[in-house]
């Protein structure tokens, strides 16, 4: 195959590895890898007659593509857990996920990891991208979360159980856990996801079970991660040697010390929880949920500030896939969350959003940094994210997305496409309809039917008349 060269000229390079930005810097890419960072001389650095693409990045920022290690492509912009776990057949759910994934890449997220989703749809998406059937970022994926009767994803009463369509698998015994991990390995996953208690107020797995799952996953060359909001499961997951951990909302000093020493990346994935509170009005979330989330966010602010001071390593996760965090819209806002909730600098947040996610992608030495020999997943941003991190999620600011050394192109209307899974709540109406509520003054309004007319007894006709009355309220 002929070699192709890509030259990004005169940009300000942020390397993703905490080095100060280099101004007026070129980046030369050969095929999928970066071969030079610095002043490039085409005469000597590029063979004569080679296939060369040049991109002018003067006045712009050149940095590694973002790595979002917590992105749920099968959730389909969900509003409720029922929607995620019950509705939309798998075939359609797969197509919807495939249609949404390009939006993620267009936002400058060149890698995602899906820590849990319906069926083996994640594996299908990953393979579809590899084979060029769909346009999307690099991807690694888990299958269904392993849970217990006390963990996240066992949402429904036992009479319903954890349905096959759910994002969870009920594994209440060690044997069930072993069985599920082995089946998922065969199904082609890259990682195992465990679901501890929803809010972290108790451990849903024992310490032994975590250790056993981690050891088996590693024996099968899989990575393993966990939804861990509480102190107990955080500490147990560190001790069990998990590869990266999600959330960490409540952590004691001892757990923080343990986590910092391990250098296991923590992806707080605070964006969803933050949006629950910040956009409570717009999303019409229930008051009790907003209040509880606000309390958790306050505790998270405290835990993560202490964790940052202790030297904990952070990575970027967003929980994209909910209606509150649509695909391709907010991913980089997690970097703003990391700055707000930990106290880190914008340079450190960028490292969290790039280099520190590389391990979850199975490419710890190849990804997330702009340096010679690394894979060329690069974004060019019209703005300075060190001065204002928000340029990374403002529409149109990420001007160029380069994946595997290739400049990507996208449909013009990509930001306005929202494709969601079906929601079929079998709804009869949400509000309680009492006489006092609907007839506020106690009197039945004059717009009611006159039942004494000649159409008396004709139910269908009465209904037609009622509908007409409702559509055209009587003129005052």
Task: Rank residues 29 and 71 by Cβ distance to Zn ion and give the closer one.
Answer: 71
Minimum CB–partner distance for residue 322 and Zn ion (Å): 9
Task: Rank residues 180 and 319 by Cβ distance to Zn ion and give the closer one.
Answer: 319
Minimum CB–partner distance for residue 441 and Zn ion (Å): 49
CA–CA separation, 287 vs 291, rounded Å? 6
Whether the Cβ atoms of residue 415 and residue 103 lie closer than 8 Å to each other: yes
Task: Rank residues 304 and 370 by Cβ distance to Zn ion and give the closer one.
Answer: 304
Task: Rank residues 319 and 336 by Cβ distance to Zn ion and give the closer one.
Answer: 319
Degrees to nearest 5, angle at CA 405 with 132 and 73: 45
Minimum CB–partner distance for residue 70 and Zn ion (Å): 5
Task: Rank residues 167 and 408 by Cβ distance to Zn ion and give the closer one.
Answer: 167
- Helix, strand, or coil (residue 347): helix
Beta bridge partners of 466: none
Minimum CB–partner distance for residue 145 and Zn ion (Å): 9
DSSP letter string, 37-79:
EE---HHHHS-TT-EEEEEE-TTSEEEEPEEES-B-TTS-SBS
Minimum CB–partner distance for residue 51 and Zn ion (Å): 41
DSSP letter string, 187-248:
HT-SEEEEE--SSSSS-SS-HHHHHHHHHHHHHTT-EEEEEE-SHHHHHHHHHHT-SEEEE-
From its phi and psi, is residue 49 left (phi > 0), alpha (psi between -120 and 50) or beta? Answer: left
Minimum CB–partner distance for residue 209 and Zn ion (Å): 20
Segment 41-50 long-range contacts (CB within 8 Å, at least 24 positions apart): 42/7, 46/5, 46/7, 47/3, 50/3, 50/4, 50/5
Nearest CA to 140 out of 117, 111, 105, 167 is that of 111
Footprint on residues 41-80 left by Zn ion (CB under 5 A): none
Footprint on residues 447-476 left by Zn ion (CB under 5 A): none
Minimum CB–partner distance for residue 72 and Zn ion (Å): 6
Minimum CB–partner distance for residue 56 and Zn ion (Å): 39
Number of chain residues interacting with Zn ion (CB under 5 A): 1
- Helix, strand, or coil (residue 21): coil
Footprint on residues 310-329 left by Zn ion (CB under 5 A): 319
> Residue 452, Cβ neighbours under 10 Å: how many?
6
CB-closest chain residue to Zn ion:
319
Task: Rank residues 123 and 381 by Cβ distance to Zn ion and give the closer one.
Answer: 123
Minimum CB–partner distance for residue 167 and Zn ion (Å): 9
Task: Rank residues 112 and 367 by Cβ distance to Zn ion and give the closer one.
Answer: 112
- Helix, strand, or coil (residue 18): coil
Task: Rank residues 117 and 137 by Cβ distance to Zn ion and give the closer one.
Answer: 117
Q: Which two tokens stand for residue 167?
A: 């994002």
Task: Rank residues 135 and 223 by Cβ distance to Zn ion and give the closer one.
Answer: 223
Whether the Cβ atoms of residue 70 and residue 115 lie closer than 8 Å to each other: yes
CA–CA separation, 369 vs 355, rounded Å? 6
- What sections of 263-345 are H helices per DSSP? 271-278, 280-283, 287-309, 333-342
Task: Rank residues 243 and 319 by Cβ distance to Zn ion and give the closer one.
Answer: 319
Minimum CB–partner distance for residue 332 and Zn ion (Å): 18
Minimum CB–partner distance for residue 274 and Zn ion (Å): 14
CA–CA separation, 54 vs 49, rounded Å? 14
Chain position carrying tokens 């749920």: 72
Footprint on residues 110-149 left by Zn ion (CB under 5 A): none
Could you say whether residue 15 binds Zn ion (CB under 5 A)?
A: no
Task: Rank residues 197 and 400 by Cβ distance to Zn ion and give the closer one.
Answer: 197
Whether the Cβ atoms of residue 264 and residue 245 lie closer than 8 Å to each other: yes
Q: What single-letter DSSP state applies at residue 396?
A: T
In the complex, which residues of this chain contact Zn ion (CB under 5 A)?
Answer: 319
């Amino acid at each position: 195959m002929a070699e192709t060269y890509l030259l990004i000229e005169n940009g300000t390079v942020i390397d993703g590895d905490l080095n100060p930005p280099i101004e007026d810097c070129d980046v030369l890419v050969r095929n999928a890898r970066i071969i030079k960072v610095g002043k490039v001389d085409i005469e000597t650095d590029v063979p004569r007659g080679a296939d060369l693409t040049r991109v002018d990045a003067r006045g712009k920022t050149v940095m590694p593509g973002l790595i979002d290690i917590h992105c749920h492509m099968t959730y389909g912009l969900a509003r409720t857990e029922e929607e995620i776990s019950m509705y939309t057949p798998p075939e359609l759910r797969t197509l919807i996920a495939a249609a949404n994934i390009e939006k993620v890449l267009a936002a400058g997220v060149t890698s995602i990891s899906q820590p849990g989703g319906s069926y083996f749809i994640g594996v299908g998406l990953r393979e579809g991208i590899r084979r060029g059937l769909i346009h999307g970022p690099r991807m690694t994926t888990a299958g269904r979360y392993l849970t217990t009767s006390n963990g996240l994803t066992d949402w429904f009463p036992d009479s319903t159980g954890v349905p096959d369509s759910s994002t969870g698998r009920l594994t209440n015994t060690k044997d069930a856990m072993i069985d599920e991990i082995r089946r998922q390995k065969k199904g082609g996953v890259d990682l195992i996801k465990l679901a501890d208690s929803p809010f972290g107020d108790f451990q849903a797995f024992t310490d032994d079970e975590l250790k056993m799952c981690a050891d088996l996953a590693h024996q099968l060359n899989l990575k393993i991660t966990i939804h861990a909001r509480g102190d107990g499961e955080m500490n147990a997951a560190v001790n069990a040697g998990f590869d990266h951990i999600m959330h960490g909302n409540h952590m004691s000093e001892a757990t923080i010390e343990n986590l910092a020493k391990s250098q296991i990346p923590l992806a707080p994935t605070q964006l969803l929880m933050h949006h629950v509170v910040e956009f409570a009005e717009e999303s019409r979330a229930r008051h009790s949920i907003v209040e509880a989330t606000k309390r958790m966010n306050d505790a998270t602010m405290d835990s993560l500030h202490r964790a940052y001071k202790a030297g904990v390593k952070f990575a970027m996760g967003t929980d994209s896939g909910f209606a509150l965090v649509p695909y391709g819209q907010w991913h980089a806002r997690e970097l703003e969350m990391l700055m707000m909730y930990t106290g880190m600098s914008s340079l450190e947040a960028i490292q969290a959003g790039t280099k520190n996610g590389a391990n979850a992608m199975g490419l710890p030495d190849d990804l997330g940094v702009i340096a010679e020999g690394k894979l060329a997943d690069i974004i060019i941003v019209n703005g300075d994210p060190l001065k204002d991190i928000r340029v990374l999620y403002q529409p149109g600011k990420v001007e160029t997305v380069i994946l595997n050394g290739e400049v990507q192109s996208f449909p013009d209307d990509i930001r306005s496409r929202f494709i969601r899974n079906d929601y079929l709540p079998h709804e009869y109406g949400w509000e309680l309809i009492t006489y006092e509520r609907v007839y506020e003054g106690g009197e039945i309004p004059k717009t009611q039917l006159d039942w004494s007319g000649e159409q008396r007894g004709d139910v269908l006709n009465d209904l037609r008349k009622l509908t007409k009355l409702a559509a055209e309220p009587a003129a005052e």
